Amino acid sequence: MERKKSAEAPLVSVIIPCYNHAHFLSEAIESVREQGYAPVEIVVVDDGSTDNTREVAESYEGVRYVYQENAGLSAARNTGVKHSTGEFLVFLDADDWLTPGAIEYNLSHMLRDKKLAYASGAHKKVYVDENHERVEKREVTRNHYWHLLQGNYIGVPACVMFRRWVFDEFQYDVTPPNSCSDYDLYLRVARTHPVCHHTEITAAYRIHSASMSANIPGMLETVLKVLRQQRKHVKTSAEKRALKRGEAIWKEYYCKEMYKRLAEGKINPSQDLYSSLFRFNQKYFLKYLLRQKYSSIISLLK
């Protein structure tokens, strides 16, 4: 894509936190450099990596490299904000990438409505082990906070473009566990400020064994913590029902995923998995126990 040259075009900062993902980092950086929008700065925040993250980042002219002692993804994002200068901010995880035109899609919405705190788009999930992709699109045109209480329809941090002033009021939560700090931030911002969402694909989310999302019990505990923090903020009966429904949806989603992966032998049984299934969805807990029982009987008959 040809880069636009306009003195009036606002600067967009793309912040790339990286922890031992140097082997993915080049693809993330290249996806930003190949955007059809010129006024972009790239800030790579090395969160205490022990691989060659620094060498990869510094091999690209114009990329700003920032090092910090390992403090986690949320802290790295906050550090990136401090070292960036753009009027608009995008947070791209080092193992993901932006799709062509992503910056322009989101920026067009932000420039059209100057009251928006952020604009978000759709994404595609890339399942590395299974070697397939799935597009995730959801149309949400209003009541964004209400919708977010029932699930993270955004899904991928790189799908979101923020105005810089958002981070004068908010930061990513660095309190462990903070693996859902992006979802937490969307909720806090959308509760008090106008936001928008569209269905153009703006990012690719790589799912692999090292992904945070591979730790299903931990993700479930964290997302429920995020929703519990909203209990004191929901005011209307509709919001209270949405919050309750959201908790049920997350329990169903993650417990079903745990059961599926256990049944397919993709993850090994553990106390954490059994405990999560028993606490949050006994239907899948009993279903798995029955499956194991019948599998044992069948193996004895062979």
- DSSP summary character for residue 158: G
Q: Before 177, cis peptide (omega within 30)?
A: yes
20 lies in the same domain as 134 = yes
195 lies in the same domain as 235 = no
133 lies in the same domain as 275 = no
113 lies in the same domain as 175 = yes
Q: How many structural domains is the chain composed of?
A: 2
pLDDT at 302: 47
- In whole angstroms, what is the distance from residue 230 CA to residue 145 CA? 11
Q: Is residue 4 included in any domain, yes or no? A: no
Rounded to 5 degrees, φ, ψ at 107 are -65, -35
pLDDT at 210: 57
Rounded to 5 degrees, φ, ψ at 46 are -85, 110
128 lies in the same domain as 275 = no
**For each successive 10 residues of the chain (302 residues), what is the average pLDDT?**
55 98 98 94 98 98 97 97 98 98 97 98 92 93 98 97 98 90 98 98 86 76 96 97 98 94 88 92 91 62 46
Q: Is residue 267 included in any domain, yes or no? A: yes
pLDDT at 256: 95
Q: Give me the residues paired with residue 134 across strands.
A: 125
CATH number (domain holding residue 47): 3.90.550.10
Domain containing 276: what range? 227-301
Among 162, 188, 213, the domain-final residue is 213
Q: Is residue 237 included in any domain, yes or no? A: yes
Rounded to 5 degrees, φ, ψ at 91 are -110, 110
49 lies in the same domain as 178 = yes
Segments in the chain forming alpha helices (H):
22-33, 53-58, 73-82, 102-112, 144-149, 166-169, 181-192, 216-228, 237-263, 271-280, 282-301
Q: Is residue 5 included in any domain, yes or no? A: no
pLDDT at 215: 83
pLDDT at 8: 78
Q: Is residue 221 included in any domain, yes or no? A: no
Query: What pTM, to 2 d.p., does this model score?
Result: 0.91
Q: Is residue 7 included in any domain, yes or no? A: no
98 lies in the same domain as 141 = yes
Encoded tokens for 144: 């964004």
121 lies in the same domain as 194 = yes
Please report how many Cα atoms fall inside a 13 Å half-sphere around the Cα of residue 3, on the Cβ side. 10
Encoded tokens for 198: 């569209």
